Chains A and B, each alone.
Chain A
Amino acid sequence: MEAVTWIVLVIDATLRVSTPLILAAFAGMFAERSGVVDIGLEGKMLGAAFGAAAAAYVTGSPWIGLLAGIGTSVALAMIHAFACVTHKGNQVVSGMALNILVAGLGPVLSLAWFGQGGQTPMVSDAGRFRPLHFPFADRLADVPFLAQIYSEIVSGHNLIVYLALGMVPLAAWFIYKTRFGLRLRAVGEAPEAVDTAGISVAGMRYRAMVVCGILCGVAGTSLSIAQNALFVRDMTAGMGYLALAALIFGKWRPVPTLFACFLFAFADAVQARLQGVDIPGVGIIPVQAIQALPYLLTVLLLAGFVGKAVPPRASGVPYVKER
């Protein structure tokens, strides 16, 4: 019975950790599928986490927090698009610039506005996305197995967790089954063809960056006012880069990316539970080894040692119209 509880708890933690990861990875998917490399996922998430926590603290409403988070993130995405699409700047440099900028600006503004040393004050429960409890979940909590799965895994998460999981099929449908999606993929593979068809390459890439901004905004919001109750400096702690790794690991495709996110989140959940645990026949696995696993796997994949990841052909290349 203890094993079942253990598994249930790990899956529960996996779902929680994977939420911002899935949102950010899909944000990156929209950007990179349109041909814009975005290593600024980290900065956009961090910016959104700050915006959401600040707004939710002031207004006491998680919805206004969510809007502020999305607004901050989209604004940053637009700077990225302005630099990379309009001015054909280096996309990696631009993403890095935004990451550094936000890492400084969040603490500066928190200190100036709230005077609490680089973080926002605690957001009240009313201002947060609280876990939703489905009917009968509490009453079934002690009944083993199926009921336990229902009450711990299906029920009891905050709204953004369900939102993120619901977004995945929607995004997949969007990318593969709609006109927007077809053009999005085309503009990342063969922008000259899209241009010939009379569709604006820059326009498509701007639109893709708006979607990227929205998704990163939700991801950052989930960090600061759903999983936590405040913004602290550097609270994304590399999650944006991990999302990038998941996107590459998923070969820029929705379903594999989703599973990559689950895998990385699962590694994190297991890692937290294996600290100092002596596994028979294996011994104590160092926590850091499990933490390093997603990065190591991504390096191996990129190097073609485990499968092959081929990015969209035009990603990273500013489009210059033929004269």
Chain B
Amino acid sequence: MSGFGGPTQAPAWVTHGLVPLINLGLALLIAGIIIAAIGENPFEALKLLVLGAVGYPEAIGYTLYYTTNFVFTGLAVAIAFHCGLFNIGGEGQAYLGGLGAGLIGLYLGHWPAPVAIVLAIAAAMAFGAFWAFIPGWLQARRGSHIVITTIMFNFLAAALMTYLLVEVFIKPGQQAAESRTFEAGAWLPFVHDVLAGFGVDIGRSSLNLSVVVAAVCLVLFWFFVWRTRWGYEIRAVGLNESAAVYGGISPARAIMLAMAVSGGLAGLVGVNEIIGVHHRLLLEFTAGYGFVGIAVALMGRNHPVGILLAALLFGILYQGGSELAFDMPNVTRDMVVVLQGLVVLFSGALEHMFRARIERLFTRRARAVAEAA
């Protein structure tokens, strides 16, 4: 699995720009063919999708709200990739993160806003990190395969949350498995409310201050991975475990650290959803965001800049995709899921099909230029 993000000889713009774009283009092409096959105009669909995502202020707000989730899950998958691990458990870790945020919301929501919110964010990260640390520990110390364990932990998280919501947190006298609404102290303010305070009107959307947390995470991620000893150890283990051991690095420690950070990042989805939007605990609020993270990390080549762009792309697809269905009843959000699968297929599973060939093309030319000079 150490192939992810490994060094190559090709120029950076080829590896990080051209190849992902070709993979995306191919995924879009096939999605376009499918749309054409079910009797709709793919270009018209693309136009409606982009308009629905960035055409008016509310839409931009929703696009950025989705982007926030995908930044969190994309970074979560990426940090694990850097360590050579595939964390499929983002969904479960996000679920648990929501539980952490929700517990603070339910029990400390009457505390003053900044304190309750900071506690909720910390709890979301801690719960998510815990849910990823166990598979990390099992991989590092007991040799169980991280992929299988994280899959199992997704199901365990689902069972746990269903139990808690149905039996423990459910609001009395209500059918739906949802908790009561939190006190306002634990509400992360909406961006439109914050900006309204400055006299700026951007239209109501689900976008909340989690987007700031996401921006901070992007910067910290870069710093952590490329400017700290922990990040160095994680990358060293990911690239070559035996070499890392010779360098005095403990792979077990790096694996557990990478997984805990990964889970903490995924847990922040719970902040965006639970204290940012819903303000109560509910079932299945993760809605597959954890899986989108896989596509985002693969497309973004595990780098914060790439992840931001990929997350933005999927934000546009999610928001635009739900708008699309109003004008083209036959093209629903499911079409975006198809595209997501194609992106993972081309930029992940089939990465060697084009990447090696294209990069060889450019390394050969670079070498020829160097020799001529």
Contacts and interface: CB of A to CB of B under 8 A. Distances in A.
A65 interface: no
Which among A37, A99, A102, A302 has the highest number of chain B CB atoms within 10 Å? Answer: A302
A288 B160 contact: yes
B160 A303 contact: no
B212 interface: no
Interface string B313-343: 0000000000000000011101111111110
Interface string B122-149: 0000000000000000100011110111
Interface residues of B, number: 51
A105 interface: yes
A118 B329 CA distance: 11
Interface in A279-296: 286, 288-289, 291-292, 295-296
Q: Is the interface of A mostly helix, strand, loop or mixed?
A: helix
A89 B167 CA distance: 44
A241 interface: yes
A282 B331 CA distance: 51
B34 interface: yes
B349 interface: yes
Q: Is the interface of B mostly helix, strand, loop or mixed?
A: helix
B3 interface: yes
B163 A241 contact: no
B216 interface: no
B341 A103 contact: yes
B332 A108 contact: yes
Interface stretch (A80-88, A148-156, A157-165, A252-260): A80-88
B155 A292 contact: yes
B152 A304 contact: no
Contacts of B291: 96, 100
B243 interface: no
A132 B353 CA distance: 49
Contacts of A103: 337, 341
B338 A108 contact: yes
A91 B147 CA distance: 11
Contacts of B351: 89-90
8 contacts: A89-B350, A89-B352, A90-B351, A108-B334, A289-B163, A298-B152, A299-B138, A303-B142
Interface of A: 37, 39, 79, 83-84, 87-94, 96-105, 107-109, 111-113, 118, 233, 238, 241, 244-245, 248, 286, 288-289, 291-292, 295-296, 298-299, 302-305, 311
